[in-house]
Amino acid sequence: MRRMAEYRLEVNGDSLDVSAPDHWTLLEVLRYRLALTGSKQGCDKGDCGACTVLVDGKPWLACLTLARSVVGRRITTIEGLLPAHRANGGSGADPVQAAFDRCGALQCGFCQPGMILSAKALLAKTPQPTRDEMREALSGNLCRCTGYTQIFEAIESAVASELGLKPAARAWGAPPVSCAARKDGGA
Amino acid sequence: MKNFTYVMPTSLEQVVELLPGPRDLKTRDRVKVLAGGQDLLGELKEHLVEPEQVVNLKGVPGLAALTQQAGAWQIGALATLAALEENAALRASHTLVAEAAGSVGSTQIRNQGTVGGNLCQRPRCWYYRHEQAVCIKKGGAECFAYGGLNKYNAILGGGPSYIVHPSDLAPALVAAGATALIRGKKGERTVELERFFTLPSEGAVTRENVLAPDEVLVRVDVPAMAGWKSTYVKFRERSSYDFALAAVAAALRIEGGKVAEARLVLGGVAPVPWRCEKAEKALVGRKIDAETCRVVGELALEGAEPLAHNAYKLPLAKGLITKALTKLATA
């Protein structure tokens, strides 16, 4: 039998004991040891960004990270956003998650956890990003359904609701329902 | 990937202790060092290397340091590409290094990827990366790119392997006159970064640099560039993130409207960062205009031998040289 390594990871504010082979990636440990399946296994070689998590607040590719190399680092997965938002006294969903819902910034949804975490890191660094800054920050997250326009609108919507403003008109004609008008947090 | 054991030593002595002996060429890949992992994990997953042990360098204190003294920089091998890209003082004094770091991969890859890893990364040639293609880089008999699909391969310095060196930092740091600090079992040595990289015809064809099996790249030292203006211009097939089809690292010291000193290094066209010394000499004493750019472009690409599918790199590289020089002259 293969030797298991015993170590502890700090994931979404919890200290979790892990027993896994040395060569397992952070993505494998998250998904197949800790049952945190929000981080997706897409290309599994650093091209698609579906596995993006935050390590000490920065977007990282969990598929290109040996799990043991992030012992002692602060790991945030998509599952951690809602509890963190609530723990900070917020209600409803995390504002960026809510904006993605509100703006229909997904089709199949596979890229969404990575997109949202990259967007969170962008907004933490640049609270009011331009479209170019968004494109740059999200360039490592691929959407195969080509929903990029809605994704950028969702980020703008999150910024707008943070500032109490109405977002700018959409790039392509009038939307059926304005992002700002739907205060219900989406369907 | 195949299983291995993982260790994280806390000193460089311990790291080199774990590495194979200096002459263990055949078994050197039994132990691999891990920095940011952005290249190594891909190699492990494609079964290009199957080490018994992976040695994480992150336990060694100080390897990620990025420090400046009197305009000269010491860049630790574990400094991340993001740290270089975001350092305003580095961007001001050595613009080409910060620009090259910022042009690598995606946000995630720059957060994780390190200077040492970027300089020591293996080629991206698709024959090399294919598990079942035993090409000359992997100990086989021939370079499949030579007579095969070679759109992304070398036009300069090729043979017997036609890879291009994939690093963006390498041409920029070579143009900046950097030196590499290397640590092995017998102690430290320094090598000009330009001599760190080896052509397949002069070094071991299965490697891209002078590192012996017992050695690791520890630090890169970059001299001050007071009075120089520099830039890194990279052309990618897609603008989101990609390796360079061709790139130009250029630095000029201009006095009274004319070039007093010049450095010109090409990326994406050769198995090593391609220093264009003839073109550098030709630049001295000239002002940057269309004729200068044309002459310099011709000299820089002198001796180029495109393969069946990559002759486009000639006009591309010349265009990038014009773009870089014009940018520096008007900056």
Work out the minimum CA distance from B3 to partner chain A, whole angstroms.
5
Tell me B103's DSSP state: T
The token pair that represents A89 in the structure block: 């006294």
∠ CA B58-A7-B40, rounded to 5°: 40
Residue type, B231: T
Residues of B in contact with A69 (CB under 8 A): 6, 8, 34, 37, 56, 58
pLDDT band at A164 (very low <50, low <70, confident <90, very high): confident
- Sign of the alpha-carbon torsion through B107, B112, B113, B115: positive
Inter-chain residue contact A25 with B41, CB threshold 8 Å: yes
Domains parsed from chain B with CATH numbers: 63-331 (3.30.465.10)
Residue A186 pLDDT more than 60?
no
Between residues 5 and 64 of chain A, which touch chain B (CB distance below 8 Å)? Answer: 5, 21-23, 25, 44-46, 49, 52, 55, 58-61, 63-64
Q: Which of B41, B58, B111 sits opposite A59 (nearest CB)?
A: B111
| pLDDT at residue A3, as a whole number | 77
pLDDT above 70 (res A169) = no
Q: What is the mean pLDDT of each run of 10 residues along chain B (331 residues)?
A: 96 98 94 98 97 98 98 98 98 98 98 98 98 96 98 98 98 98 98 98 95 98 98 95 97 97 98 98 98 98 98 98 97 81
Contact B108 A61 (CB under 8 A): yes
User: What pLDDT does residue B202 have?
Assistant: 93
What chain A residue is nearest to B86 in terms of C-alpha separation? A125
Residue of chain A nearest B106, judged by CA positions? A140
How far apart, in whole angstroms, are the C-alpha atoms of residue B274 and residue B267? 6
Helix (H) or strand (E) holding B221: strand B216-222
Tell me the chain B residues in contact with residue A135 when contact means C-beta distances shorter than 8 Å.
240
Do the chains contact at A44 and B45, CB–CB below 8 Å? yes
- Give the mean pLDDT of A161-171: 73
Average pLDDT of the segment spanning A4-25:
97
The interface predicted TM-score of the complex, written ipTM, equals 0.96
Q: What domains sit in chain A, N to C, each tagged with a CATH number?
A: 4-79 (3.10.20.30), 81-165 (1.10.150.120)
pLDDT of A174 higher than 90: no
Contact call for A64 and B37, based on CB within 8 A = yes
Chain A contact present for B82, CB below 8 A: yes
Does the pLDDT value for residue A143 go beyond 70? yes
> Would an 8 Å CB–CB cutoff place B107 in contact with chain A?
yes
Give the C-alpha separation, B134 to B130, whole Å: 8
Cβ of B111 and A69 within 8 Å? no
Higher pLDDT, A7 or A170: A7
Count of beta carbons in the 10 Å neighbourhood of residue A37: 14
The residue written with tokens 């010049």 in the block is B262
Where on the phi/psi map is residue A162: left (φ > 0), alpha (ψ -120 to 50), or beta?
alpha
CB B222 within 8 A of CB B177: yes
CB of B45 within 8 Å of any CB in chain A? yes
At residue A1, the pLDDT reads 47
List the single residue in A2, A45, A139 with the smallest CB-CB distance to B3. Answer: A2
Show the beta-strand stretches assigned E in B17-142.
Answer: 31-34, 53-56, 66-69, 72-76
DSSP characters over B124-176? --HHHHSTT---GGGT-S--HHHHS--TTS-SSS-SS-------SHHHHHHHT
Q: How close A125 comes to chain B (CA, Å)?
A: 12
Of the candidates A72, A84, A83, A75, the one whose C-alpha atom is nearest the C-alpha of residue A27 is: A75
Q: At what angle do helices A112-125 and A95-102 cross, to 10 degrees?
A: 130
Q: What distance in Å separates the CA atoms of residue B172 and residue B250, rounded to the nearest whole number?
A: 8
- pTM for the model: 0.95
- Are B1 and A140 in contact (CB < 8 Å)? no
The predicted structure's pLDDT at residue A2: 63
Q: Cα distance from A51 to chain B (closest Cα, Å)?
A: 10
Does A183 reach chain B within 8 Å, measured CB to CB? no
Kindly report the three-state secondary structure assignment for every residue of A38-53. CCCCCCCCCCCCCCEE
Residues in chain B: 331
The string of pLDDT tens digits covering residues A74-102 is 999 999 999 999 999 999 999 999 999 99
CB pairs under 8 A between A and B: 87
Give pLDDT tens digits for A116-134.
999 999 999 999 999 999 9
Chain B CA closest to residue A141: B106
Among the listed ranges A59-68, A160-169, B198-207, which one has the minimum average pLDDT value?
A160-169
pLDDT at A183 over 70: no
Quote the pLDDT of residue A187: 40
